[in-house]
Every structure is written in structure tokens, then in C-alpha cells.
Amino acid sequence: MSSWNAMSYEAKDTILGVVRDEGDQFLAMVDDDAVWEAPTGAGHWQVRDLVAHIVDTTEAYFVAFDAARNGGEMDPAYGLPGMAKRVDAQAQALRTEPRAVLVERLRRDRATMMEIFEALTAGDWTNLLVTHFYMGPLPAFFYPAFQLMDYGVHSWDVRQGTGRAHGLSGEAADLLTPFMFVLWKYTVAAGDLEPCELGIRVTSGPNAGDTRVSVGPGGMLVFNPVNVTEHQGDTVKWTWHSSGHTTTDITGLGLWDSKIRLGARDFHPVRWASSAPAARQGQRLLAGGDGQDRLSVTAVIQPCNGPTALTGV
């Protein structure tokens, strides 16, 4: 159902509605001196640290969207492996802020963030690349999902700290399901891991289904073969065992950009033509689908001088 696939613009109203609901619940729970220093389900964090964390995260998004809209420069991605330590330090830095001051700051930030989301067009949803501090350039549709994680998951943390029975709302859990595959890809623990395949079954909700995740050596998702040398007139086909991808020219010449392609069953071969050798980069954004679908992307190269190197990374 496209209205429940937050990577699709058709789901914009759905996810923004759930983000509002989860944000309302979060603010109602935390805006109370009686719980401000209460324990949570987020390790050593108290309720005040959750509020500080969302303030820090949201204000970083403002910088990222401003740079995306105005062509500003962003630093290279910090990386997810070091994220936990840094976000802890960022949250702790705001620990002495009075409750009323910090909660009001979050309310203002939330209102501004929702205005940015509301202004996103259908083209922006998938084609506006916004540089995440930890993950690097991502399509704009990731950011409403990140805010859903902020308010939905951290509302869960607040309730967990009370010791009472509770659960994440079905709407939030379902919308976040596809994004979990992305986060898993970037948070695989380093180590000497053997390649394997995992089967994951989600049993209810619009995003229910079976997913097969292939894990390569050391826990990385890999292309096979890694490198291909293409000669003029050759045809190259990429096959993704997943439901989301993009292929882009990384020469800086602006030769092509496939944009984000969604839904394994809806893919069709995409063709580009270039007049000079160029490197292609295929970036897997989502491990989805049922493990049986295949995506073929075909690049047809016009006559050029010599072979063209293609790299899957």
C-alpha cells in the first residue's frame, strides 16, 4: 500500500500524521518536573536526556536542509558506528537546561521541522538529497521517518522507564519497518563474519511480508562481481535483490542520475547514454521485497574513447 510506504510521496500525509501524534504523546509525558529525572529504557538516559537528544538531532536537520536547499557545503558523514557515543555527549551537554526552557525549545524545533516537511514536494520527497550528520546524503523522505523514530521510539523509552506494560503504536512500528533494513546495513558489528542469508517475517500491518537479507564477508552487503570493465557498445545489467536503489554518475560531470527507484515489482530497465568514460556507483538503500524479485538496470554506452570502469560500492 503506497499510502503506508513512507518512501513514497503518497504516504506523506500518513507519516506526518503519525509523527504529529507521537510527538504530542512524547511532549505530554516529558513536560512534568515529576518525571524529568526519571529513568528510561534508553540505558543511563533520564527523561531530560531524551528531550535534549531530540533537540540536538532536530537542529542538526535544520542545518542539513538549509545546505540542501542553498547548495551549502557539509562535512563528510561522521558514521553510525560512533553515533552512540557522540549523541550521548551531545545530550549530556544540555542536561543542566531547565525543563521549561528545553521543552519549549523542542516545541519550537518540532513546529519548524513539520513546516519543512509540509513544504516538501513530490520531487523533493525522493530527489532532494539532504546530508545526514552520521549517514551522509539521503533522500528527504528519510527525515520524517527519523523524526518518527525520535518521538515514537523515545516515547517507548519513557514508558519503559515506568515499569508498566506498554508497546510501540502499530502505526509507528509499521511505517518504520522498511527503514530498519537500512539501519541494519550501516550498524553491522565489525568482525570476522561468515557470509549468510537471514529470513525475516513481519506478520501484520500494511508492510507485512517476508524479506531475505544477504550478509557478505565481515557483515557487509556486497556486489558480485565488485568491479566490471565495460567497453564501448557493451551493455551492463545490475541485479538487486532488494526494493530500493539509485545509480548515479560520480565523475562530477552530471551525466545521469536514476533518482530513487522504489518497489521491486514496479521496476523497469532504465537506460542512460554518455559521451565519455565515466564511473558508475550503485548504492543499495533498502533491503526489501520478498527475496525473489529482481531489478535490472541497463546502462547503454554511446561510442567513447576506450573502456569505462564500473564499480559497485
Give the helix/strand (H/E) hosting 108: helix 99-118
pTM comes to 0.70
Are the beta carbons of 155 and 22 closer than 8 angstroms? yes
* Residue 307: per-residue pLDDT: 34
Res 105: pLDDT: 98
Structure confidence at residue 250 (pLDDT): 43
Q: Enumerate residue ranges in the chain where pLDDT < 70.
A: 1, 182, 185-193, 212-313
Output the pLDDT for position 14: 95
Residue 279 CB-half CA count within 13 A: 10
Long-range contacts of 181-188 (CB under 8 A, 24+ apart): 181/211, 181/213, 181/286, 181/287, 181/288, 182/142, 182/285, 182/286, 182/287, 183/80, 184/213, 184/287, 185/221, 185/284, 185/287, 186/80, 186/135, 187/80, 187/81, 188/215, 188/219, 188/220
Q: Is the peptide bond before 225 cis (omega within 30 degrees of 0)?
A: yes
Domains belonging to the chain, first-starting first, are: 2-186 (1.20.120.450), 227-312 (no CATH)
The predicted pLDDT at position 64 comes to: 97
DSSP calls for 135-146: TEEEETTHHHHH
Is residue 175 within 8 Å of residue 148, measured between CB atoms? yes
- The 10 Å CB-count burial string (b at 16+, else e) for 114-135 is bebbeebeeebbbebbbbbbbb
| pLDDT (tens digit per residue) in 268-300 | 333 333 333 333 333 333 222 333 333 333 333
